[in-house]
A = this chain, B = another copy of it.
């Protein structure tokens, strides 16, 4: 398994041990997590491209800097709901969101 992806999954709050342990994730679970990571990445890209700070984005969303940080790292305490709502609020279109999700892993 890809090292970078592994640490990202761990960072997201999912324990990753040896290969057998990892494979305890069903394919749906894995797909769901990757989907979440894709949205998180897109949120960060959007923010950085606009030259915004996490604090600025937090204000726009009516949230806090720490939650924005957790969103961008796809923390386990962040839902797809929150990510999608945030992206839409920051100006992404429904179509863009769908494309991010549909994009192959």
Contact = CB atoms under 8 A, between A and B. Distances in A.
How many identical subunits does the complex contain?
2
Contacts of A103: 98
Interface stretch (A9-17, A67-75, A80-88): A80-88
A35 interface: yes
A31 interface: yes
A36 B104 CA distance: 22
Size bin of chain A's contact surface: 20 to 34
A34 interface: yes
Given A80-B80, A81-B80, A88-B32, A94 B100 contact: no
* Most chain B beta carbons < 10 A, residue from A34, A79, A96, A101: A101
Contact of A35 (B31, B35, B84, B89): B84
12 contacts: A34-B94, A35-B84, A79-B79, A81-B81, A94-B101, A94-B105, A95-B104, A96-B102, A97-B101, A98-B100, A101-B101, A102-B102
